[in-house]
Each structure stands twice: as C-alpha cells, then as structure tokens.
Structure 1
Amino acid sequence: MKYVIGIDLGTSAVKVLLVNQEGTVCSEVSKEYPLIQSQSGFSEQDPEDWVTQTIAALKDLVRTADVAVEDIEGISYSGQMHGLVLLDAQNQVLRNAILWNDTRTTKQCKQITETLGEKLLSITRNVALEGFTLPKLLWVKENEPDLFNQAVTFVLPKDYVRFRMTGKLGMDYSDAAGTLLLDVIAGAWSTEICETFDIPIALCPALTESFDVVGTLLPNVTDETGLSETTKVFAGGADNACGAVGAGILSDGDTMCSIGTSGVVLSFEENQHRDFRGKVHFFNHAKENSYYAMGVTLAAGFSLSWFKGTFAPDESYEELLSDLRESPAGARGLIFTPYLAGERTPYADAMIRGSFIGIDGNHKRPDFTRAVIEGITFSLKESIELFRSEGKVIRRIVSIGGGAKNDDWLQIQADIFNATVLKLENEQGPGMGAAMLAAFGCGWFDSLEACARKFTRVTKEFQPSTPTVRQYEELYQVYRQVYPSTKSVSAQLNQFRHEQ
C-alpha cells in the first residue's frame, strides 16, 4: 500500500494526515502554536513556530504510523490564507507574520479602494478587506519602511513551511488569489497594481499549480522526520480551496458549507465571466483553470463556542445541542445574529455586533440554543442567496466542519438552505484536500474528480421539509431586517465596549 501526507497549517495548530490509496486516514498528528496579539487588532505568529511544529508533527507521524517511509510517496499542503511573511535577500524572515484575522489595515484598504476604484474588481475580482495581503504590505511599507526596503520576496504561511522543507520558493494560484495582487483571470501578478502602489513586482514569488511537484525534502528535514529523501513535495493550496477539494467540490454547481470558527459557503465556478461585483470572494481553485465563489460568516462556530462557554461551560457540545429537539423551528420567535466579531458577507462591517431579538419571559435555554444555530445558518444562507441571485443553481450542499457533527443541525441547514445537505463518511477538511493533491500529483488518479470519487463518500442525506422551509423563509425575511436596524446602535455602543 502507498501513502501520501496532507499538511494543514491552521491558525492555531498544524495537523498532518497519513492517507492511503483507499482514501483512509491511517494516522494523524496535531501540534499547536501561539498567537501573538501585542495590541488590539494585531494578530501575528512567528513563522519559526510553524516550521518547528510541522517537523515535530511529521516526526511523530512517521514514528507511530508503522508504515515503511519508502511507501510514503508524496506530501502536499493546505494553509491559512492571506498571511504576510516577508523575506530578505538571504530568505530570512524579517518580522512576525501578519495573519488573515489582523485588522490594523483599515486605512490601507480605504487607500486601495479610492486609488484603484473599479479597476480593483476587474483585476482581482475582490474588494479590499483587512484580511488580504496587499493592505498588509502597504502597512509595513508605511510603518516599517526599513524592514520593507530589506524585503526581497513575500510568501504566505504554508509556502514558507514548504520552502523550509524543500529550499524552493513559490506560491500556488489559489493562495495568490487571496493577496489582492493577482490578476485572477489572467493567472499572473498584476503589474498595474504593483506599480500603482510602488511595490516591486519582484517581491511576488513564482506561481505554480497546486498539484505541481516543487521538489523533494532537504537532508535536514529527512534526518529530523525520518521521511525518505525520495518523497515528492507538491505545492498545495489555500485552506478553503483544499477544503473544497477534500469535499469533492470540483464541478459546476457543487457547493460546500464549512463551519469552523468562521463559516464558509463555497461554490465551484467554471464561468470566469460571472460577476458577483465584489459581493462575495472570487478566487482561483486548486483545480486547474477553475474558480470558486465564497461567502464568509466571521463568527459562525465561534458564536456557538461563545454561547457554550458563557452559558453551558460544563456541558459537552453534544449535550448542549440536544436542546435543539426541545425548541421548535423558529425558536418560538427568538432570533440571534452571529455578528460577535463583525461580519464579512454580505455586509463587510467590522463594527456590527450580535443580537438576540424577541426575548420574552417564556423563552428557555433550548430556545436560545436553537436561535444561535439558526442565526449562524441564516447568515450562511445570505451567501447562498447571493449565488442564486447571479443564476447559480444550488440543490446539493456538502456540509463539513463542526456544523456537520450534529444531525439536527444538518437538518436545520437543509431546511434553511432549501437544499439537500450531504454528510461525508470521512470528513477531514483541508488536510484531506492537501493529501488528494499529492495523490493526484503522484499519478494515482488521472484527475482530481477521480480521486474525489474514491476518497469522499456520502453517508447521510438530509432533505428539506417543505413546511419547515416555508416557515424558515418567513423568519429569514425578519432576520435580514436586524442588520440595518441595529447598525447604528452597534456603532454607538462601540465606545462603551472599551471602557473599563
């Protein structure tokens, strides 16, 4: 039996998966690393922590997996998007990486939008948001000019780890699309954007397909991990693109709902001319010559973890979610909006905050639990409705992440989305997608689609119930009124949030 390894470099931990030719996860290891939050709005990490913990995880995997290292044919990567890693002429890291959830760049986003106007959308297919890489580059250029002048190249998080394992610098198209520097349709760095903001285009690394082999492991890596020097290393992709590959989202109409800390609704797109006008993200996929549209709820699973930590800290998630069966659809007239960290789609509003609307003396905890789950799902529905408004037909949705671990929540998704919701047998998210890119790159399959047919298996289908769909559609129209009704209130309350 042959094997591949998928490395998923997340925001809080790296997870490595050993996957065989049947698509079975034979072993997995996870290693955590810290966030550095020196002041409000700053979110950074030391790239050395990524390397150290990835090597440690691979070493543990090899030690415990009980397979011959010569049978591990390939390694590929998935990584947190947008994070800025600046390197000098000796490829040494110049500063901590600035992460996707860093919000210091509001000024730079405004500058980008005002300077480029509609050209930004026509080139990058995305609006300027704090999470993207270009605003981070401009922030460093303005606030740390000496460091910026020493920079010779930049990479994203997983690309730095891959460089340290292979000695080869580069970036795949799916991650490059999240920098706000890529001409998404042309598949090339935008000279116009670089020149507009006086950024040397030489800072941008060479581009490659996600499934391209980029080299083999350096001797020090094979010594430390026990892996073979013949193991092929593939470029890998952005975490959302790899999550889509791992869920089999590889043809027109395929759609995925992923609920982790944030929530993502992602739909495969072959039509490069479909224009969402910046209302949702539009990125290059890890599959060649294809794209995906994506909407984001910033505090999806986070809303549930906040609710549990605040009101049910001693219960398991399973115990808490048993509340769903004790409250009817609509939570007896109670609505929750999951804006605990602002919102991305469709509002792109960092100031909005969450609400419970409609509380009365008859509501019990199960109603609040159900309202939280329904509110998260309503927020994700807003992205689906944006897709549908542009002519996309969405009838089946693969659900992954925390939202796929509870059957009652999966049924709520089916009813609110008005679509069949699919649960996978072996849902491993972006790490599995990275492993599939390695499997395809190693020649195990003649296409990613063939790999997906082997590696992804549906175990349950949840069909929408017509009466409940109608009830939720009425409630959704009420939900959509909460944001415009509370926007001003949230802004006024902001001054009180920071008072001691």
Structure 2
Amino acid sequence: MRCTLGVDIGTSSSKGVLVAEDGTIIASATRAHDVARPHAGWVEMDGRIWWDEFVQIARELLDGHQDAEVVAVGVSGMGPCVLLADENDEPVRPAILYGVDSRSTTQITRLTDELGQDEITRIGGSVLTSQAGGAKIVWVADEDPDSYARARRLFMPASWLARRLTGAYVLDHQSASQTSPFYDIENECWYEPWWQQYAATIEQPALAWAGDIAGTVTAAASELTGIPLGTPVIVGTIDAWTEAVSVGAHGVGDLMLMYGTTMFLIATGEDTLRTPSMWTTAGAFAGTRNLAGGLAASGALTAWLKDLTDADYPQLLAEAAESGPGARGLVMLPYFAGERTPIQDPDARGVIAGLTLRHGRGDLYRAALEATALGVRHNVETMRAAGADIRRIVAVGGGTQGRLWLQIVSDATGLVQEVPETTIGASYGAAFLAASAIAADDVKPQIEHWNPVADTITPDPSAKAAYDALFDRYLRLYDGTRGVVHELAAEQRTH
C-alpha cells in the first residue's frame, strides 16, 4: 500500500500520520513533550527531542503497518525557532522558540535603532518583534557568547528533520522570511549586508519552497527510522502554514484560523502588505505573500483553567455554554503569556474584569473562550485595515473539536467558518505536500478531494450587539490597565 508519512513538531507534542494516496489516514502517532521556561519570557526546548520523537513516531507507524510502502516524507514544525548547531550538527544550546519567547527585547531595540524601522520594513516586510528569528540569533551572540562561538548552522524543526533525514542544509522561504531582519522579501533571498553584519559566522542555509524535495533518505536515517533508503523528503515549513495547506486555505483571499496551544491566523494574497501590527511573510508557495498574526495563548489558557479547576473539558464546556454570551458580566484579556499581534506587547498580562462571588468556573471558562475570540477579531480587523482581502475563512487544529469555541469565534467576529473533514493539522498537510512533490503534474492530488468541508459555522445575529459591546470593553480594558500590568511584568522578571 503506497502512502506518505507526515510528521509535525509542535509546541506540546509531535504528531505523525501515514496517509494513503486518496488522503485516507491509515494511522497516527503522538509524542507529548514540554517546553522549558527557565526565566520569565523564555520558552525553549532541546532540539534533539525533535529528531528523537520523529524516529519514535516513524518506527511506531511503520512497525504497526508492515504493508505500508512510504513513497515520500513530509516534515513540519513550530516556528520561527532558532536552533544553532556546530559544524557536526550538534546543538550548541536549547532552541529558542517563536514569538512566545520574548527574551530578545533589547536586541530588537538595538537592531531597530541601528538599521532603522523603515528600512527593516522595506527589506523584510515587518517591524522587529518577539517573532523575529534574527533578533534571537543576536541575543545568543550577546548573552551566550560561548555557545555562539561554536555555532555554524541555523535550523528550525522542519529543516532539522530534513537535515537528519537527507543531509541537506536547506530552509524554506516562508521560514526564512521570519528570520528578520536577514531576509529580503521582494527578492526572495538572504539579505547579505545584514547577515554579514550580525551573523557572519553562521553558514546560510540554501533556500527552497516548502513543497520542494530537499533530498532523499540516507542509509543511516533509513536504519534508524525504517523509512526506505532513497525516499524523497520535502523541505517543509512552519506548522501554521502547513496546517493551511492541510485544509486548502492558502489561496488568494483565504484566511486560516488555527486553534491550538496558541491561535494563529494567516491571510494569503499576491501583494506584500506591510503594517507594524502584523507579520508580513513569504507564502508557502512561490508567488504568494502572507499577512499573519497570532495570539500567544489560546488553548494554553483553557488548559490552564482546566488544571486550576480540576475539571474536565466536557464539564467546563457545558458550564460555559450555560453561562452565555458575556460570561455573566466578565471580560478577560488573554495575554497570560504576553501578546503577539496586533498589540505586539510581550509585557502584556492576563486580566479578568468584573469578577464577583457569584461567578463560577463555567463563567471563567466562557470568558477565556470569548477572550480568544475577541483577540481573533482584533487581528482580523487589523488585517483588513492593512488591505487584506479576506474572502474565505477555514478553521483547523485541535480546538475545532469543540463546537462551542467555534461558535463563539464566529459570533464575536461575524465570520462564517468552514471546518474541514480532517482537522488533525500540520502532519496531514506535510503528508499532502509530500504526495504532491512526487506526483506528475496531471495527477497531483487535490486537497479538496483529500479533505472536503464537513461543517460550516454561521454567526448568530442575536449575539452581535453583545459581542460588539464586549469588544469595545476588551480594547478599553487593555488601554486602561497597561501601565499597571507593565509594572507587574517588570517585577515578575526579578523572580
């Protein structure tokens, strides 16, 4: 049975799928892991975990399905991350994760002062934020010089897997465009003056597109994983973009909403749109550009409440549904891990306003779901103000399993959401890219055949007025509490 293997390295787990030629999922496997938070604002992980879990997942899937003939491998992973390795491909320090890690604030300020915000935006598309991979590289040079002195190569999860599988040292354009300020978005290449100024001792990875073939599985990788020698492996890209592929939400006018540990949004177009509030990136495919955004905490926030209240998700969802729109007079800011877009404030913190002794855990859970929905609305309105033409919304990710959350997002934003049949996410998209990479042009798989729309979530008109009022309070609550919250964030950094 011919199939493709797709593996994605996520924030809280690695997931793999074996997928038949018609898109049917034959089997899946997962390995849970934790991130490390050694200091306030730091989020990192031992990059060696990524390969170890890939090997475990590949072995589990192939050993359990001896009739599976893997004809191509897809890879994907969270990002933009910064994993620096030496000349022997040994990590010199833990990988620094994407925008949830806010340690590089000083470097962002320095780079912006030295290079100029307008010039940074002209070359790379975006202002520097906690999402900027280049600023994280400079942080290592400044704050961990011993490790930086040994560093010779730059990896992200997908490129790390491709390296270990094939020996290729390659990074996709989409990921590279988030290594700000080292990528020239209009010319789709590394920007040599700034790379040489700030990262000259790091070898530049070759650049390719996500669905290109990086190389083939080596003898050493085949022995470890069980994948046949010579099997093609794609370059891969960042998980949110691979998730967009998995549901066909990467065409011009599409917006993908990814419901996961964090919430991510990707609007696709042909033009390079620039706004200081969002991230401008290259697309997953040649000829496309993205305006992207992300909440720093969404699923992580609901998981925190679940653990805090010692209740299970069905209980909390039932109680949240009973609470109703507005959570009986509560409004929450979901900035429990700082916030990414559109406020770009790593020192933002969570706020719950309106609490009384009458409120219960269902009200709090409802307020958390509404907070993420209002964060989505804030991002969508900012994207549209920047010129994004959003015609179609597709929801993906683990959070789509709970219809209440989807309904609240549609009600709060006024958006119709399409939910595909398969929402397993980036690993499925990676398997699709792998299948496409080896297929002839006249027989390439079509994602609408692999993964048709299964449900459509329509806004409830009767909830519009309540959520319009709540959104206004949401915006004013951040403005009104920002000063105190920033003082508390500064104090937290001392503990």
Q: TM-score, normalised by structure 2?
A: 0.93
Opposite residue 283 of structure 1, the aligned amino acid is: T
| CA distance in 1: counterparts of 2:37 and 2:462, whole angstroms | 47
Q: How far 1:431 sits from its partner (Å)? A: 0.9
1:28 aligns with 2:32: no
Task: Name 2:287's counterpart in structure 1.
Answer: 289
Task: Name 1:388's counterpart in structure 2.
Answer: 384
| CA distance in 2: counterparts of 1:288 and 1:29, whole angstroms | 31
Give the direction of change, closer, same or farther, for the CA distance of 1:106–1:425 in structure 2 (3 Å limit): same
Give the direction of change, closer, same or farther, for the CA distance of 1:485–1:168 in structure 2 (3 Å limit): same
- Indicate the larger mover: 95-104 or 221-230: 95-104
1:60 aligns with 2:60: yes
Q: Choose from 483, 487, 492 the match for 1:492.
A: 487
Q: Choose from 312, 315, 335 the match for 1:316.
A: 312
Task: Name 1:185's counterpart in structure 2.
Answer: 186
Q: Choose from 316, 321, 326 the match for 1:325.
A: 321
The DSSP-based 3-state class of the residue aligned with 1:22 is: coil
Task: Name 2:18's counterpart in structure 1.
Answer: 18
Matches within 5 A, 1:79-118: 79-100=77-98, 101-117=100-116, 118=118
Opposite residue 478 of structure 2, the aligned amino acid is: Y
Q: Choose from 370, 375, 399 the match for 1:374.
A: 370
| CA distance in 2: counterparts of 1:111 and 1:72, whole angstroms | 48
> Are the aligned partners of 2:82 and 2:155 in contact in 1 as well (CA < 8 Å)?
yes
| CA distance in 2: counterparts of 1:133 and 1:23, whole angstroms | 34
Q: How far 1:39 sits from its partner (Å)? A: 3.8
Opposite residue 277 of structure 2, the aligned amino acid is: K
Give the direction of change, closer, same or farther, for the CA distance of 1:43–1:388 in structure 2 (3 Å limit): closer
1:458 aligns with 2:453: yes
Matches within 5 A, 1:66-77: 66-68=66-68, 71-77=69-75
Q: Choose from 428, 431, 439 the match for 2:424.
A: 428
* Percentage of identical aligned residues: 28
Task: Name 1:2's counterpart in structure 2.
Answer: 2
The DSSP-based 3-state class of the residue aligned with 1:178 is: coil
> Are the aligned partners of 1:15 and 1:29 in contact in 2 as well (CA < 8 Å)?
yes
The DSSP-based 3-state class of the residue aligned with 2:284 is: coil
The alignment covers a number of residue pairs equal to 492
Q: How far 1:490 sits from its partner (Å)? A: 0.9
Residue by residue over 1:179-206, the C-alpha shift from the partner in whole angstroms, topping out at 9 and shown as x without a partner, is 11111221100113224x3422862211
| CA distance in 2: counterparts of 1:366 and 1:144, whole angstroms | 45
Q: How far 1:152 sits from its partner (Å)? A: 2.9
Give the direction of change, closer, same or farther, for the CA distance of 1:56–1:325 in structure 2 (3 Å limit): closer
Matches within 5 A, 1:179-328: 179-180=179-180, 181-195=182-196, 197-200=197-200, 203-272=203-272, 274-275=273-274, 277-311=275-309, 313=310, 315-328=311-324
> Are the aligned partners of 2:154 and 2:202 in contact in 1 as well (CA < 8 Å)?
no
Task: Name 2:156's counterpart in structure 1.
Answer: 156
- Indicate the larger mover: 380-389 or 349-358: 349-358
Opposite residue 350 of structure 1, the aligned amino acid is: P
| CA distance in 1: counterparts of 2:186 and 2:443, whole angstroms | 22
| CA distance in 1: counterparts of 2:13 and 2:461, whole angstroms | 41
| CA distance in 2: counterparts of 1:499 and 1:209, whole angstroms | 43
1:334 aligns with 2:330: yes
Matches within 5 A, 1:465-476: 465-476=460-471
Q: How far 1:487 sits from its partner (Å)? A: 0.2
Give the direction of change, closer, same or farther, for the CA distance of 1:357–1:279 in structure 2 (3 Å limit): same
Residue by residue over 1:374-406, the C-alpha shift from the partner in whole angstroms, topping out at 9 and shown as x without a partner, is 111001110111122233343532112243111
Q: Choose from 395, 404, 409 the match for 1:408.
A: 404
| CA distance in 1: counterparts of 2:368 and 2:35, whole angstroms | 27
Give the direction of change, closer, same or farther, for the CA distance of 1:124–1:51 in structure 2 (3 Å limit): same
Give the direction of change, closer, same or farther, for the CA distance of 1:36–1:421 in structure 2 (3 Å limit): closer
Q: Choose from 415, 418, 423 the match for 1:419.
A: 415
Opposite residue 261 of structure 2, the aligned amino acid is: T
Q: How far 1:441 sits from its partner (Å)? A: 0.2
Structure 2 unaligned residues grouped into runs of 5+: none
| CA distance in 2: counterparts of 1:111 and 1:360, whole angstroms | 44
Q: How far 1:495 sits from its partner (Å)? A: 5.8
- Root mean square deviation of aligned Cα: 2.2
Opposite residue 416 of structure 2, the aligned amino acid is: T
- Indicate the larger mover: 346-355 or 80-89: 80-89
| CA distance in 2: counterparts of 1:346 and 1:365, whole angstroms | 28
- Indicate the larger mover: 143-152 or 109-118: 143-152
